[in-house]
Structure 1
Amino acid sequence: MTRPAVRMCARCQRTTDEPVLVHEVHAATGPGFNVYACPDCVEHYPPLTNALELLDTARRRSRLTLHVLKVNAEGTVTEDRGEVEILAGGRTDPVPFTSAYPPCNCPRCKTPR
């Protein structure tokens, strides 16, 4: 004969012989634990998510927005060249050499393409 599982409800703190798993607590340095609720309190918890499903979702690409200004020697803005958005996490085309984005004198910009 098997003994029924008896757990304490995390919401109302009453023991129940019909526990429902509502949350899994994962620990980086040791075993985690499970959180249970009684059938009356289970509606107050969000649906249980699988941690492995979270890893499979498409990663969001990092985004960096730069506002490009031309400044004279005194620090006064002489020209507003707008915004440049850079997406990370994948191959991107190099910034075009136009009047809006002139190359600087760094080794990266001096290399022929």
Structure 2
Amino acid sequence: MTRPAVRMCARCERTTAEPVLVHEVDAATGPGFNVYACQECADHYPPRRDPYELPGAEPRRSRLTLRVYRVDVDGTVSEERDKVEVLVRGGALPVSLTSAFPPCGCPRCRAR
């Protein structure tokens, strides 16, 4: 007699008798583990891809865009001064940590 696979859904945390494998986590040392979801929650996860598959030839878009602009007293943007895109792949170098973009100096951010 075969025992049914019962797993906990990683999204809604309910146990399910019909688990769907949504992600495989590889570990550098020791065994990895699998992440399961129930049938209803499985649609909320992106499709699995082969980790050994080579990335496509198309360049990837930026994952992070920093914009520096001037704001009027009314809160409307009056002038865009600069834009920095941090690319994941595609030959772009990461943004260096310099004082070019200092942290916000407003009273609300300084209080944190």
CA radius of gyration, larger in: 1
Structure with the higher fraction of residues in helix conformation: 1
Provide TM-score, normalisation by structure 1: 0.49
